[in-house]
Structure 1
Amino acid sequence: MNLSLENRVALITGPAKGMGASITHAFAAEGCKLALVGRDTAAIEPVAAEVKAGGGMAIVIPCDLTDAKQCEEAVEESRAQFGGRLDILVNVAGGSGPIGKTGVQTTPEEFDEIVTLNMNGCFHTMRAALPTMIEQRYGKVVNVGGTFGMRGRAGRVAYSASKWGLRGITKSFALEVGQYNINVNCVAPGMVDGPRFRDKVCRDMAQKLGISEAEAAERHAADYALKRVTVDADVANACLFLASDVSRQITGVDLPVDGGWAML
């Protein structure tokens, strides 16, 4: 299936590593022109270099996503570099917040920090990008949320709250800008295999239960209908789908990419 993403201009936040890097490479492989946005440009530059080495187009724009003005400036810089267009916004950047703390143990500062990053950051970029999309009468916004924002999770109150909030932002914007031929959706990854999953989640479970880290990974996989843990490419493919015209009639949805956990 041809996703027809060639020469689309895509702004991606949080592209430096993990899911963000995988999503960046997936959009580059489809022929998109990329504006890679984030605070740590030194970490983003190698990803941009890989895209360009493969024949793609990528620019790096410094931006603190919690600062509305910087987000507006990032969008303007992207427009200036790519002929005034902005077709796709993919909000990957986010944080995990305190892990293993109850709501009572979570400090107000910890709660505010993760809500500001995971909710305000996406709000700022959408607010900055949507006027261009409205003018074009075309646009795709994909926010990367999480399944803990669909079922909740003990010990993850701040993170769960921030992702629940992102769902509300997504749905409200979808209702507001649908009339301009703009789709706004949310991809909700479950646990994603990678260094944090292996070195933190599995290791903690292994130590608590007296089992190996490999057995801990298998226990996580057993919770899912498909009996396997999500990988970065699964999330990237979902983002490509929602950013393409193949999904032209889909907006305001939460798409779990979790092997069958949140919705089953």
Structure 2
Amino acid sequence: IVDYSTKQMKEMRKKMQIIFQDPFTSLNPRMSVSEIIAEPMITTKTLKNNTERLDRVYRLMETVGLAERFINSYPHELDGGRRQRIGIARALSVDPEFIVCDEPVSALDVSIQAQILNLMMDLQDEMGLTYMFVTHNLSVIKHISNNIAVMYLGQCVEHAPTNELFAHPQHPYTKALLNAIPIASLKDRKKLEIIKGEVTSPINPKPGCRFADRCPYVTDRCREDGLKLREVAPKHYVACRLHE
């Protein structure tokens, strides 16, 4: 257990922020747009002057593409894309270095998803941000990530640079995820391979690979302890008995 002081906690809040998955429930319905964006600044005491905070709110709204006329609007008056822009502005309000993005586009329409992703990539280039993008949609993170870690029931099964992972997936679960990505082509049709078997209980998982009960290549060794990530190519790691 790490005992952080109040000052250390405030510094951590400033350096790390989060963009939540659902823009419909992550915003306080009783607060206006300006109040929502200014809240982290008030909590961390970044700017104590009301005038300075309001100026900062206007600049952030401009940065994320929100018109000034929404300054006194409430979340229920805006669509999903604008609400998520409020969430991004709120995360940027204390100049963070690291932002956790918890499925930030999964609740949005496809056309709005592209706008939000492009905005986040532009902000990353302008402000030097580091994102940890949590998602189940590999086609989304292909365009925004540099490195990908594939998790199954809390266990990292594969980790590699983005281009390497898409070009040479090694773990059966990674291959299944990539196979599930739809292709917009009538010529390059592929058969969807359904993952069979029962999901292992996350409360008390069995030893070894947690994907073993659903893996078509499972052996007795897959259920033994000692499974570790192994480097199978430069910067490409996989936790699978097939590659030992």
Q: TM-score range by the shorter chain?
A: 0.3 to 0.5
Larger Rg: 2
TM-score, length basis structure 2 = 0.33
- The one of the two structures with greater contact order (alpha-carbon pairs below 8 A, sep at least 6) is 1
Flag the structure with higher helix content. Answer: 1
TM-score, length basis structure 1 = 0.31
